[in-house]
Every structure is written in C-alpha cells, then in structure tokens.
Amino acid sequence: MPGHAIEIADLAFHWPGHAVPCLDIPHVCVEARERLFLHGPSGSGKSTLLNLIGGVLRPERGRLRVLGHDLPALAPHARDRWRADHLGFIFQQFNLLPWMSALDNVTLPCTFSPRRAAEATRNAPLDGEAGRLLTRLGLPESHWRQPARRLSVGQQQRVAAARALLGRPELIVADEPTSALDAELQQAFIDLLLQETAASGSALVFVSHDRRLAAHFDRCIGMTEINRAAAHGG
C-alpha cells in the first residue's frame, strides 16, 4: 500500500467549449487513512475534482495518482472497474435506488466489484456484513427490507454511508452528504462517518461548503487555496 491516497501535481482540466480552465491545481496530497475536509463555494470546481478522482473524467495534463494508480493512463473501462473496486461515494441526497430495499442498496457495489464482494463476505455472508454496517450506522433492522424511498433523508444517508463502506474501499468520497440533513443530525452523521472510515481503514475526502463541520477532521483545505483557476476566476 503506497503512502498516498491521492497525489495531484500540476493538474489542469477545462470543460469542452469553455475558454477558462475549471481546474488548475499545482499540488495536493492526501495520505492513506487521512480524513480530509475540502471546502469551497459552488463553482469552485469541487464536483469536477471529484469526477477526476473517481476516474469518470480525464485531466488534460498533470499528475493524478489515486491509491497508487496513474488514472489518466488507464482506459475508460479500466477506470470504471478501478472505481468499483477502490472507491465509495456518498452524495448530497438521492443516493439510493428508491425501489430497492435498504439492504439491496448496501450490497449493490458487489454487483460491479467481485473484489469488494470477496472482502465483504470474508467473515460473514453478504447480507450479514451489510446488516452489521447498517446496525453500526444506527438503522433499525425493521427498516432494512423496506424500499429505500420509504426511509427518511437521514436514514437514506446512513444507508448510503453503509454502501460506501461495504467491502472496505480504500477511499471514501463524500460530496456534501449532510447538506440535506437537519443541523442536529449533521454532526451525528459526520461523527459516525469518521468513526466508521477509521474502523475500515479508509481515507476520506469530505466535501462541503460549510466550514463549521470541519472540526473533527485531520486536515481542512479550501478549493480556492489549491485551485488557481477558482482563485483567479472567482
């Protein structure tokens, strides 16, 4: 396992048809198991950066190593495969397939990643591991087999977190996962997420526009600090 979860140097990206670059990042490094809080206003390139880290977009130039893999060098289908194996995503809301049960949503990554399926079933059957994560994240068992759309937003985010954690991916990327939650639920969710990523040994990149949430993270950086395009372009 290499020492860095994410290594960015001299990275540039701009959307086709746009004159100004969207990202121009001289240098960023995230250590393995590090919990990073990344903040920035909307339009500062957060989503684009996450798409690059997820291997969905490809940078124009620069160095982008995630978990030791040189992403730009991989073919698109290999990046999809890599993402399935090593990354867990949590989005702002509507994370789940609403017509699937909570439990099925949690085990969904195994559909696309045999590696995570193998990891998740090392000690217990798949549903057992999914249930263990749901229990740790505080979703009562009576809700496990309900369709995801019947759950409250807070419950849905817990299911999403359990899904991201299933099979211990090395990197969890959370994109404003608490912005749809009530204030009192936000901190509780973040504490749970920090605790569980630590337990599974994953690194965490937590993106939010709200700096007040940064308290318990190892490090806090702003998009405007690392992205020259955002700093100049406003």
Partner 1 sequence: MRTRAILRIARLSAFSRRSTLVLTLAAIALATALLIGVERIRHDTRQSFVQSVSGVDLVVGPRTGAVQLMLYAVFRTGSATHTLRWSSYRALADHPAVAWAVPLSLGDSYRGFPVLGTTPDYFAHYRYGDKRSLTLRAGRTFERPFEAVVGSEIAKRLGQTIDSRLLLSHGAGNDLLPEHGDKPFTVVGVLAPTGTPVDRTVHVSLESITALHLDWAGGAPLPGVTIPPELATKFDLTPQEITAVLVGLKQRSDAFRMQRFVNAFRDEALMAVLPGVALDELWDTLDIFERALRGISVLVVLVSLAGLVATLLAGLNERRRELAILRSLGASPLDLFLLLACEGLLITAAGAAAGLLLVTGAAWWLHDALRGAFGVELSTLLPSPDEAWLLATILSTGLLASAIPAFRAWRMALADGLTPRQ
Beta bridge partners of 222: 39
Residue 173: which H helix or E strand, with range?
A: strand 171-175
**Which of 97, 118, 124, 215 is in the footprint of partner 1 by CB under 8 A?**
97
Contacts of 44 (CB under 8 A, 6+ apart): 223, 224, 227, 230
Segment 158-177, which members bind partner 1 (CB under 8 A)? 175
Handedness of CA 159, 163, 165, 166 (dihedral sign): positive
Q: How far apart are CA 153 and CA 139, in angstroms?
A: 12
> In this structure, what token pair is assigned to residue 186?
């936000």
Q: How far apart are CA 169 and CA 155, in angstroms?
A: 22
Do the Cβ atoms of 102 and 144 come closer than 8 Å?
Answer: yes
**Which of 14, 31, 34, 47 is in the footprint of partner 1 by CB under 8 A?**
47
Residue 232: which H helix or E strand, with range?
A: helix 228-233
Judged by CB under 8 A, does residue 56 bind partner 1? yes
Minimum distance from residue 50 beta carbon to partner 1 (Å)? 6
Segment 215-234, which members bind partner 1 (CB under 8 A)? none
Minimum distance from residue 112 beta carbon to partner 1 (Å)? 4
Pair type for strands 203-208 and 35-39:
parallel
What is the total count of residues that contact partner 1 (CB under 8 A)? Answer: 30
Segment 101-120, which members bind partner 1 (CB under 8 A)? 108-109, 111-114
**Which of 76, 125, 128, 201 is in the footprint of partner 1 by CB under 8 A?**
76
**Residues 1-30: x/- map of binding to partner 1 (CB under 8 A)?**
------------------------------
Coil, helix or strand at residue 110: helix
Minimum distance from residue 22 beta carbon to partner 1 (Å)? 13
> ∠ at Cα 92 (79, 152), nearest 5°?
125
**Which of 25, 96, 130, 203 is in the footprint of partner 1 by CB under 8 A?**
96
Do the Cβ atoms of 112 and 88 come closer than 8 Å?
Answer: no
**Which of 95, 155, 156, 186 is in the footprint of partner 1 by CB under 8 A?**
95
Q: Which stretch binds partner 1 (CB under 8 A): 46-54, 63-71, 122-130, 185-193?
A: 46-54
Q: Using the structure block, give the residue that is written with the tokens 């880290």.
A: 53
Judged by CB under 8 A, does residue 121 bind partner 1? no
Residue closer to partner 1 by CB (options 51, 187) is 51
- In the complex, which residues of this chain contact partner 1 (CB under 8 A)? 47, 50-51, 54, 56-57, 76-77, 80-81, 83-85, 87, 89, 91, 94-100, 108-109, 111-114, 175
